[in-house]
Amino acid sequence: MRLQKYLSHAGVCSRRQGEKIILSGRVRVNRIVISELGVQVDPDRDRVEVDGEKVELLKEAVTIAMHKPRGFVTSCDQPGEQTVMELIDLPVRVYPVGRLDKDSTGLLLLTNDGRLHHQLSHPSFDHEKSYIVTVARPISNGALKKMASGLPMMGRITRSATLKRISSHKFQIVLKEGRNRQIRRMVRKVGHKVTRLKRIRISNIRIGNLEPGKWRYLTEKEKKDLTGRIQMER
């Protein structure tokens, strides 16, 4: 098995990310640093380490849904910050899929399945994500229409989005892309400021009544439906 495939099946990262990790010299096989692609490993005989920590093939793929609270960063390790990993007590290591900024709340998926992580993170897969947005002052229908039709941002126009007004200060937005702090930037473009941002859905997975700081395993139906959607979107 190619080393980058091993890392993916071990839940460390996607194959593409595995290539980057290998080239950076962070991987050792049988105590020898590997810094080039093409190396083959035998899962039954070889010892593989990343950053000095042994990694093994998954015995079971685990994916969970979390309600990320405000004040936590979406990272495995960030000095001086509270991370979402502090909210989890699992016998296996899982990794956040995508990001929610520190001041945002809502649905976050975490998994040890490298392939699923890649499919949920990569922009070539058009997963819908739904958010509830609250702004500081009443927002006009014209401003909502501008955001729905697309705005210039970071050198290109944002993809069209679906928006639905909830109240004078609140609306729901559905995106099929996720650029850095995209919604906050879009709202700023139309002259407003976000005061609250909550993600309520990723593809077919909904936050439901999950309380802030809590998590749950995906149901078998959710996992099956998610896999089916990924295949259709691809």
**Active centre residues (catalytic):** 101
**Residue with structure tokens 């105590």?**
31
**DSSP-assigned beta bridge partners for residue 48:** 29, 55
Q: Tell me the two tokens of residue 227.
A: 């896999």
Nearest residue to 171 via CA among 158, 187, 157, 155: 187
CA–CA–CA angle 113, 52, 109 (5° rounding): 25
CB 84 within 8 A of CB 66: yes
Please state, in angstroms and rounded to a whole number, the distance separating the CA atoms of residues 122 and 142.
32
Q: Where are the beta strands (DSSP E) in 17-89?
A: 27-29, 32-34, 48-50, 53-55, 63-68
